[in-house]
Amino acid sequence: MTLSHFSAVLLFSLFTSVVFGITQRAEPKMMIRFGAYCFALFVGAVILASWLMYAIKH
């Protein structure tokens, strides 16, 4: 199996956010909202770190 760095990040973020959403909130609506928030933070942080590394290298 071969995964790109970014697809690995997306899969990791998706599955982790689902578990965080279900376990860290009590109401279904808040679970979805918190899961989406975690996913956005995961992916956003990775994109930010990637551009930071690019800027350091160049």
Partner 1 sequence: MAADAQQVAQRIPGEKSSLPAMVLLAGWLIPGLGHLILGKWIRALLLFLSIVSMFAIGIALQGKIYSPSTGDILDILGFAGQLGTGLLCGLAHLLGWGATSTVNTLADYGRAFLVCAGLLNYIAAVDAHSLANGRKASV
Q: Distances from the Cα of 36 to the Cαs of 10, 32, 42, 46, 50, in angstroms?
A: 12, 6, 10, 15, 21
Tell me if 47 contacts partner 1 by CB under 8 A: no
Nearer to partner 1, 16 or 43 (CB): 16
Q: How many residues does the chain have?
A: 58
What character string, x for contact with partner 1 (CB under 8 A) and - otherwise, covers 1-40?
xxx----x--xx-xxx-xxx-xx--xxx------------
Site residues, partner 1 (CB under 8 A): 1-3, 8, 11-12, 14-16, 18-20, 22-23, 26-28
